[in-house]
A and B are shown apart, each in its own frame.
Chain A
Amino acid sequence: QKEVEQNSGPLSVPEGAIASLNCTYSDRGSQSFFWYRQYSGKSPELIMFIYSNGDKEDGRFTAQLNKASQYVSLLIRDSQPSDSATYLCAVNKRGSTLGRLYFGRGTQLTVWP
């Protein structure tokens, strides 16, 4: 079982819609959860991180964490064509060296005008 799993997509939504990206993880002891955005040909950039159960909002982005079900999601409200990118979920793992993260393979999002 992979440490972090994401639906590879592609996920396609119209401009103005809500895009929902999901990620599940295998280690029940994971404490830190991150979402990165990666444009084609570019390096990943951090969008959000969340450590506690519940929701965390930052502008049009909301991260949701459910530790009991071992999933973390990213909602993008009022999606824009500029949001078209691959979104990577990353999680730490109990017992791993501090700072090491495990990345999913990413979900490709396309927002069409």
Chain B
Amino acid sequence: DVKVTQSSRYLVKRTGEKVFLECVQDMDHENMFWYRQDPGLGLRLIYFSYDVKMKEKGDIPEGYSVSREKKERFSLILESASTNQTSMYLCASSLASRPQHFGDGTRLSIL
């Protein structure tokens, strides 16, 4: 079974802090994704990566950056956290055009 692990289930940070969310997958998938999910807005793609050091903007990249130095790890960075970034963050991975598999999610609160 595919295992996608997100480093934290719950995280509380302060406005202006630099926040790192980590995601690790154990199935050698080349694709990794970061989404945020808000009530009524569904899943929105922030960034994704299709190979080490390769990234592509999703639909809502503003205020975020990503890093993929190793194939199994994909990090989402909030450069200067703001309250409107309070959300559920979901990481996913996939092989080519196969289904995406999700981690358990990180519920991030920015105070």
Contacts and interface: CB of A to CB of B under 8 A. Distances in A.
B60 to A, nearest CB: 13
A106 B40 CA distance: 9
Interface residues of B, number: 24
Contacts of B45: 100
A25 interface: no
Contacts of A49: 99
By DSSP majority rule, is chain A's interface helix, strand, loop, or mixed? loop
A97 B50 contact: yes
Q: Which of A92, A97, A104 has the most CB of B within 10 A?
A: A97
Interface of B: 30-31, 33, 40-43, 45, 48, 50, 56, 90, 94-105
Interface of A: 31-32, 34, 42-46, 49, 88, 90, 92, 97-101, 103-106
